[in-house]
Amino acid sequence: MCGRYATARARQELLDEFRIELDETVAADGADLLQPDYNAAPTKDVPAVLVRPPHGADTPEEAVRTLRMVRWGLVPSWAKDLSIGNRMINARAETLAEKPAFRRAFARRRCLLPADGYYEWYKGEDGKKQPFFIHPKNGELLPMAGLYELWKSPEDAWVWTCTVITAQAADELGHIHDRMPMTVTDPDTWLDPSLTDTSAAASLLVPAAARGLEAYPVTKAVGNVRNNGPHLVAPLPADPPAPSDTPDEEGTLF
């Protein structure tokens, strides 16, 4: 599954890349809600691109492309509390139209979740786990396909939540983990809330590998959600030569 990712692009880059018409990542008090996050984890707020009528509008014709922060871990409208979202961070592409938690959102509330790349943990033969950062080779953004929902809390506050859609990993990355995020072939159609045909929406989904991904090992510090910063996505240095391959002072091998 996709359980950690990095989303650290500047606001203007996201506004330009996704042709945003309404930026809701600035709070009413002026606080900047959009901050670089190299260790986005479940229950944290992450940026999402979606199309819907702004507050106060209620017709589909008024829908605009919006950038806003949403809580990672989808909470269906019928859920009793937020905790169910902890089990809904990923939605399997194979069963989106069937699962009660996802099928309504799949029909009307699709989104894109901008990422620089995502992390997966590879378990070696010795049983130890090594995190890898998987990202587009060309350095471009990875807009992960997602769904969002609105859940009303007991205090009558609306909570926006999301999930990342995943599928079977491509062969070249499947040895690290057997699932990977999905992206879409046509973002405009994917985001269009008037498209309610789930079969048509499903036809737009493609594995993230289609964007040309590469993977490299990174520091295990990413395993602690309290750690953050660009050092988390830095490649680990190459292993030093083994002693048997190291010349001594006279130029011969030990």
Structure confidence by residue, pLDDT tens digits, 114-170: 999 999 999 888 888 999 999 999 999 999 999 999 999 888 899 999 999 999 987
What are the pLDDT digits (tens) for 168-213? 987 677 788 889 999 999 999 999 999 999 999 999 999 999 889 9
> What mean pLDDT, rounded, does the chain reach?
89
Active site residues: 2, 120
Q: Which residues contact 164 (CB under 8 A, 6 or more apart)?
A: 2, 5, 72, 89, 90, 91, 113, 144, 145, 146, 181
Range of the domain at 28: 4-117+139-211
Q: Could you give the CA distance from residue 117 to residue 81 in angstroms, rounded to a whole number?
A: 30
66: number of Cβ within 10 Å: 21
What is the CATH classification number for the domain harbouring 169?
3.90.1680.10
Answer with the residue of higher pLDDT: 59 or 3.
3
Residue 218 domain flag:
no
Q: Are 52 and 96 in contact (CB under 8 A)?
A: no
Count the domains in the chain: 1
Residue 133 domain flag:
no
